Chain A
Amino acid sequence: MASAKELDEFLAAVERRAYKSALLALQDHHSALDVVQNAMLKLCERYGERPSNELPLIFQRILQNAITDHFRRAKVRNFWTTLLSPFKGADDEEAGDSLEALPGAVDTRPGTDPAGMAESSQHLAVIEQALAELPPRQRQAFLLRYWEEMDIAETAKVMGCSEGSVKTHCFRAVNTLSAKLKEKGIRL
């Protein structure tokens, strides 16, 4: 049975990736935060007694379900308007929280961009945008397999599909991403 310390360590290690994954799926900062915080609560309340090696699988399942539910209920903002608005001008007074509404957005106002990070930030932003544009199942499979580093069996468990489907989703995800990045002129 997982101790409080093990739970804390696990959540601390996974929370940023969880938030990012939710953000890529939901395209909205507050929804993503909401979903991750609720997933943490659920994990601790209902599954805190499980052995610690089961926590990653259970947490990802809770998180993915919460994202799917949210998707169905909330309106997803048109990502083109989200994409275009930060480029309109540097006078955006609503900095801070709202900047994270665009995946990968970093404060690039004049005077806040030391060491010319702007270019690599845009680079990052484009990669994250490409991921956000993937079909949900492909993105899910990609992130679980390669970012959460789960094996095929674990990914299949979390996604509730066969191992063959996982392989297909991953294969397509990589191809689609590769094509999108070429299209957007990014060379890795």
Chain B
Amino acid sequence: MNEQEFIAKVTEALDEGAGRLTSPTVEALRAGRRRALAGRRQRDAGGAHAWVAVLGWAHHHSRMFWLLLLLAVLLGMVGYQMLNDQDASDLDIQLLTDDLPPQAYLHGDMGSWLNAREQ
């Protein structure tokens, strides 16, 4: 028997094994799949719910000031995380090329050295 035939026989056996799973297992896999998909759908809907909630609120408290404040918060949340990473990465390259190896900054005494009010 050549290699291709051998491989085919092995995968055939594997397929058969996969076909013979007991029903509790099959059910558990199906349930897991449904849960995973539901989680994804919720993400899409989440945005819509936010819209509805905010609009209803804005309708009752129709002050421009509050609308702008809300907007600032929304964009701030988005910007904050991305800016944070922007700063972090500029820092990273500096950290990695400075005099000390990265482990140095984890050293137990490092915190006290940096905070000490020196002579």
Direct contact of A and B (CB under 8 A): yes
A45 CB contacts on chain B under 8 angstroms: 36, 39-40, 43
Q: Is A66 an interface residue (CB 8 A)?
A: no
Q: Which stretch of A8-16, A68-76, A79-87 is in the interface?
A: A8-16
B interface: dominant SS: helix
Contact of B61 with A by CB under 8 A: no
Contact A20 to B33, CB < 8 A, known contacts A44-B39, A45-B39: no
Q: Using a Cβ–Cβ cut-off of 8 Å, how many residues does chain A contribute to the interface with B?
A: 40
Q: Evaluate contact between B25 and A40: CB separation under 8 angstroms.
A: no
Contact residue among A12, A20, A123 (Cβ-Cβ distance under 8 Å from B18): A20
| Interface of chain B residues 1 through 28 with chain A (CB within 8 A) | 1, 3, 5-7, 9-11, 13-14, 16-22, 24-26, 28
Q: Are B3 and A174 in contact (CB under 8 A)?
A: yes
Is A97 among interface residues, defined by CB-CB distance under 8 A? yes
Check if B36 sits within 8 Å of A147, measured CB to CB.
no
Q: Taking A7-B37, A37-B36, A40-B33 as contacts, is the C-beta distance between A178 and B25 under 8 angstroms? A: no
Q: Is the CB of B14 within 8 A of A41?
A: no
Per DSSP, chain A at the interface is: helix
Contacts of B41 in A (CB 8 A): 4
Report yes or no: A16 in contact with B10, Cβ–Cβ below 8 A: no
A120–B37 CA distance with the chains assembled, in angstroms: 37
Q: Tell me if A29 and B32 are in contact (CB < 8 A).
A: no
Q: How many A-B residue pairs have CB under 8 A?
A: 106
A43 within 8 A of B: yes
A188 engages B28 (CB within 8 Å): no
Q: How far is the CB of B53 from chain A (nearest CB, A)?
A: 23
CB distance from A67 to the nearest CB of B (A): 16
CA distance in complex: A19, B32 (Å): 12
Given contacts A36-B29, A188-B6, contact A127 B13 (CB under 8 A): yes
Residue ranges of B at the interface with A (Cβ–Cβ < 8 Å): 1, 3, 5-7, 9-11, 13-14, 16-22, 24-26, 28-30, 32-33, 35-37, 39-41, 43
Interface positions of A (Cβ within 8 A of B): 4, 7-8, 11-12, 15-17, 19-20, 29, 33, 36-37, 40-41, 43-45, 48, 96-97, 99-100, 103-104, 106-107, 123-124, 127-128, 131, 143, 146-147, 174, 177-178, 188
10 tightest CB-CB pairs across the interface, nearest first? A37-B32, A40-B36, A44-B40, A188-B9, A16-B18, A44-B36, A48-B40, A15-B29, A127-B13, A41-B36
